[in-house]
Structure 1
Amino acid sequence: MLRHSSDLSGTIVKSNKPIAVFSGGEVEIPKSISDLDSVMSQLLPVEHWDTKFIVPPLYPRSDFLIRIYAFNPNTSVTVRNETHEKTHSLTAGMFIEEHLGNGPVVVNSSQPISVVQYAFSENHDPSSHGDPLMMVIPGIHQFSSDYLFPTKTDHNEMKHYVAVIIRNNSLSGLRLDGKLLVAKIFPVHFSEEDYVVVVQELRGYVHKLTHNDHTIKFGALVYGFGANLGYGFPAGFEFLDIGRYPRKVYVYLLLHGIPYGTIIPECIMC
């Protein structure tokens, strides 16, 4: 374990054998809040970074923060939402932060990047329920055609959600546990393609997201908030291996006992 009082973002980890790398810490989100909370997530290896992302809102929270990490020099990154557009030039190991409100955010880059989403502390917005979370955002090329994920916890006061990123013309075929979604819809008209983000509150313990057309791919992120609690994780990824065949990666998480003020650590298993 590598620990330091300073931010370790941009640290390069190399290995001659397969490993998993988790990152997190006790942080103030935002930095102006004098309240430390724990966040943690498993990171994607650089070989699986992407160039196109849609970051969903953390409905019903009022806003969120994203960090964007570059591995290659001269990486151009464009970040935009419905009202703003910014372009940045990143060097190797550099990261930037963006805080653009509570709507969907589109991120495009000239070279592969990693995008991580953070929820703010409950003290940042007293009207919001729940503490910070940290989620690695799947790139559009990592979307899958189905997901199986759990949400069970021992905290009955928590509310759980799934945010689905899908093309607008494919929305009608989306199914959660075999049923149509009755959800909050956020248009993403400012993307290169006509996507929407659909946020559905979840009830029950294990869920399956599918589409009537098995060739349609979409992204899914799961999150939840409670009193002094927050968690979030991507529901899965689909990667292309060396032979260029799709390889699905599902996310499994701790099903019992969220420690006070922390997220549930995710564990990616192939």
Structure 2
Amino acid sequence: MTFCEQVCGLEKFLDSYGDGRYKLGCYRQAACDPRKRLLSLTTTTSGSGPGKTNCAKCCSADVCNSNGCGETDPFQQSSKVCYNCDGNLRGDVCRKISFCKTNEMCYIQEGLRQGELFYDSGCIDSHVCVSIHAPVIGRRDLETFYKHVFLKRSDQNLRCCPGHLCNKDYGSLPTQKPGGQHSFPPPTSIVYTHSPHISVCKSGKQCYNDGICQSSTCICPDGIFGDHCEYTDIRGTSFILVFPQTTYPDCQLPQALIGTSQNGVFHKFSFYSHFNTSTQFSPNLFTTDFNKSATMASDGKFLRGVELTFSSKVSLYAMTSCSKSGDRFSEGYMAIPTNFLSTKYIIPLYKLYSATAAYGSLIVIAAIKPNTMINIYKKQNGVTSTYMNIILRPYETYQMSSVNDLSGTLITSTDPIAVVSGHVASYITAGGVNPLMEMVLPTDQWDRVYVIPHIAQRPSKFVRIYSNQSTNVTIHYQDKIESKSILERNFIDFDHSMVSYLNANNDVMVMVFPKGLADSSGDSFMMTVPGINQYLSAYEFAVPSGFNNFISITTLFNAVDGFILDGNPMHHENGSHIFGGTNHYSTFTMPIHSGVHRISHKDNVRFGLWVYGNGPKDGYGYPAGMAFRSNTK
């Protein structure tokens, strides 16, 4: 929206194809005649060629050139038109507007971030303004929910008004006084979105995953969410697991952990023997071990890995462990169901402690369809390197290693593949050596906004951000805000302590690498960080034995209370807090015992959840789950 010093104008013209087009803007007062028509009509040019103006008008009221020349005034179609800006500082001019629904009013809200006042404005449900002293907002989607819920709920910082564009200036609107004609009743508890999740569908966009578009709004089934019902949880019934080479292949003990509250049967298919076995699973029978033939011992093509098929949806985690010479070596990852595997990946790794094979970078690829062509565009230590391609048969697994950091390597394929990356062993700052491994997210499952959680007993961590295409990223960490650029298929690192926030203008992938502990009570590991749009409202997850285990949670500041673990209210100590954009987030940790658990929030809030553990000269970590975009092609 443009602010005019004199008058607004509207011209309608026909392009060279005879289609009607419109030009709106500012005009000099002298361009208007007494009947509010524009004078000196001239030939106008559009993207499809020149055209002749056949209607024009001018006017002097706010957004008055929104109708005329045969167009219906959207002010009459919608109950309100409001200024809609996020995070404007004092003195900033809001130049965006929103057309509100019939049950909405305009609002402007004042907040304080890092000592500076800022203002949010837009449309808000009318009952929020007229029914409560401390506004209660149940937002339809995650983005607008985050936009509002963190602000202090008081009549001193949220002001509503009923007119068009009435929320331009915070200071011009009165504050409602308790007990007055327009007073609000006492504050009530915050209300969050419940299923079915509701979100706005934009013109020309459809609703996915059986969502129904009603009045330009996607109404999503339970467990489905997003602007267009494009997200679903990552639980599945079929998984491919592969295990990269470690320091002692003969000692490696691969296993899977099954996160579910259900009982059922799963089938275990060995790539090596082609032998299929059936086993029961339940919350008490939640682990299954594999033969060493499931693990990689060297580079090349092999039939190494397993396929697991379940009778109902589960969360699945792969673990590897080894005890040798008084040392332990463990690591784990969250498995991606086969229906979410894809054809494009960027490899996440970390710098090598030593440029030797003992600490080498690893990439393992598994195919599930015949004659799958794999294209590998290598990067080594941030520099574009060689290209190679291979053909894999069903259940054939390929491992490649390097004494260089392969971060940013691009892998594409003709059919969906499973990709795991890691290190034979890693040593980050202190502690002992430990393998690293993580199942890689496809590039179509990245996000743009992330909160990095606090990790218990790990005061210092490295975070690495990976790009698919060139992007700019803003990072809030350690009381600093920095903006950085990342080139295509590249990465940047930063030190993370208690809580960090980042947002990028293109999708990125984020990994956290906790540093080892000097007293050898915990080694380094590698863990995926899902973005805030990938949070779930409930998780069923599994925790391994043999570690001091913890969970970390990230959520909105006003939602830190109300979590329910295994049917009981959770009790946790104070967490860490951070402002990101116009949002206020919190992160906290708590110990947890091995076994299968379920965690949710009494108000159905979506939140991030990670599982990790420490042991003498050992450590592991993985996200408990996440949302994936699905059925959007």
Same fold (TM over 0.5): yes
State the Cα distance separating 1:28 from its structure 2 match.
4.1
What is the match of residue 88 of structure 1?
A: 484
The residue aligned with 2:408 is: 10
Paired residue for 2:466, among 39, 50, 69? 69
Q: Distance in 2 between matches of 1:78 and 1:37?
A: 31
Aligned residue among 205, 212, 218 for 2:602: 212
CA RMSD, aligned part only? 1.9
Kept in 1, the 8 Å contact 2:451–2:531? The answer is yes
Q: Determine the structure 1 residue equivalent to 2:561.
A: 172
Instruction: In structure 2, list runs of 5 or more residues that go unmatched.
Output: 1-398
Cα distance in 1 between the residues matched to 2:555 and 2:543: 21
Counterpart of 1:207, as a letter, is H
Identity %: 28
SS at match of 1:172: coil
Higher RCO, 1 vs 2 (CA within 8 Å, ≥6 residues apart): 1
Q: Please state how far the C-alpha of 1:33 moved relative to its aligned partner.
A: 5.7
Q: Is the 8 A contact 2:577 2:585 kept in 1?
A: yes
Instruction: Please tell me the residue identity of whatever aligns with 2:402.
Output: H
1:121, CA displacement in angstroms? 2.1
Q: Is the 8 A contact 1:57 1:64 kept in 2?
A: no
Task: Trace 1:38-57 onto structure 2 (pairs within 5 A).
Answer: 38-57=435-454
Is the CA contact 1:117–1:135 (under 8 Å) kept in the aligned structure 2?
yes
| Superposed counterparts of 1:112-261, under 5 Å | 112-122=507-517, 125-126=518-519, 129-153=521-545, 155=546, 158-192=547-581, 193-214=583-604, 216-243=605-632
Number of residue pairs matched by the alignment: 234
Larger Cα Rg: Structure 1 or Structure 2?
Answer: 2
Of residues 57, 60, 65, the one that matches 2:457 is 60
Are the counterparts in 2 of residues 82 and 190 from structure 1 also a CA contact under 8 Å?
Answer: no
Deviation at 1:223, TM superposition (A): 0.6
Report if aligned partners of 2:553, 2:607 keep a CA contact under 8 Å in 1. yes
Question: CA contact under 8 A between 2:432 and 2:617: conserved in structure 1?
Answer: no
- In structure 2, the CA distance between the partners of 1:204 and 1:94, relative to structure 1 (3 Å rule), is closer
Aligned-residue offset at 1:3: 1.1
Provide TM-score, normalisation by structure 2.
Answer: 0.36
Deviation at 1:37, TM superposition (A): 2.5
> Once the 2 structures are TM-superposed, how far is the Cα of residue 35 of structure 1 from its aligned partner?
5.5
TM-score by length of 1: 0.81
- Out of 102, 109, 116, the residue aligned to residue 504 of structure 2 is 109
Alignment CA distance shift 1:34-1:232 (3 Å): closer
Distance 2:451 2:431 in 1: 30
C-alpha displacement of 1:85: 1.9
Partner letter of residue 507 of structure 2?
A: P
User: What letter matches 2:476 in structure 1?
Assistant: R
Determine the C-alpha separation between the residues in 2 that align with 1:33 and 1:53. Answer: 27
2:475 to 72, 79, 83: 79
Question: Residue type of the partner of 2:475?
Answer: V
Q: Which runs of 5+ in 1 are unaligned?
A: 245-270
CA drift of 1:171 comes to 2.4
Distance 2:419 2:573 in 1: 34
Residue 37 of structure 1 contacts residue 132 of structure 1 at CA under 8 Å; is this kept in 2? yes
Whether the 8 Å contact between 2:473 and 2:483 is mirrored in structure 1 is yes
Who is 2:424 aligned against? 26
- Paired letter, 1:81: Y
